[in-house]
Structure 1
Amino acid sequence: MAVTRQPGSFGPSEFQTGLCDFCGDCGTCLYGLCCYPCLGCSIASDMDECCLCGLSMAIRSVYRTKYNIQGSLCGDFWAVGCCPLCATCQLKRDIDRRKEQGIF
């Protein structure tokens, strides 16, 4: 049997939820609204990074690269710059879904 895909590699994809998909996970959105820095620390913890990194554009870019999610640094910059809460909640929703699917 030939190996056609390396373990841990992912085909090109999109984030599993939209940037403004608040109703997809109200708990994450409320968490972000009530304690935005805590949500960032939770993301950083999920990714084994420093707590200060959780709210940065860099962690979004690292995550996107790791899971081969389509996009660009410019897109990450605009998402985090224009609506940091939306971008952070989207990232946390995606992490949680990948955990449920066993691919995180």
Structure 2
Amino acid sequence: MSTPVIMSQPQVVVVQQQSPQWQTDLLDCFSDCGICLCGTFFPLCLGCQVAADMDECCLCGPTMAMRSVYRTKYGIPGSLLGDFCVNLWCPHCALCQLKRDINKRRDMGIF
């Protein structure tokens, strides 16, 4: 009877904790100028990118609901009223913040 040969050693897997906050501030446009420019001049295109990232319908556009769903999914503090106000008074900034957050979480492997 032969002894089994071990081909690999056990490995430790480190799971990154989700950050319960936005990865960038609402007005932090210069942290990613490409997203800022796209959100300023082509907000519908950026909205469709965000919708596609979130497996949502592009025709709905970047709405308060999309921001609320995302915020709830990642445990980001806030309220529906806050989401409504941000999308009402600063829709381009809200969209850019959402896209930056998606990109950062994707880079961290938690999106």
TM-score bin, normalised by smaller chain: 0.7 to 0.9
* Structure 1: gaps spanning 5 or more residues: 1-6
Structure whose alpha-carbon radius of gyration is higher: 2
Q: Does 1:29 align with 2:56?
A: no
Partner residue in 2 for 1:14: 21
Instruction: Let me know the Cα RMSD of the aligned residues.
Output: 1.6
What is the CA–CA distance in structure 2 between the aligned matches of 1:53 and 1:25, rounded to whole Å?
25
Q: TM-score, normalised by structure 1?
A: 0.87
- Conserved in 1, the CA contact under 8 Å of 2:64 and 2:84? yes
- Displaced runs of 4 or more, over 4 A: none
The alignment's TM-score, normalised by the length of structure 2, stands at 0.81
Contact 2:63 2:87 in 1 (8 A): yes
CA contact (8 A) 1:40 1:88 kept: yes
Cα-to-partner distance string for 1:63-84 (whole Å, 9 max, x where unaligned)? 0000111100011011000010
Find 2:73's aligned residue among 66, 78, 90: 66
Percent pairwise identity: 58
Task: Find the aligned partners of 1:10 and 1:29 in 2 and give their Cα distance.
Answer: 25
The correspondence of residues 1-104 of structure 1 with structure 2, limited to 5 A, is 10=18, 13-104=20-111
Name structure 2 gaps, 5 residues minimum.
1-14
State the SS of the aligned residue for 2:76. Answer: coil
- Asked if the contact 2:18–2:110 (Cα under 8 Å) also holds between the matched residues in 1, the reply is no
CA contact (8 A) 2:48 2:58 kept: yes
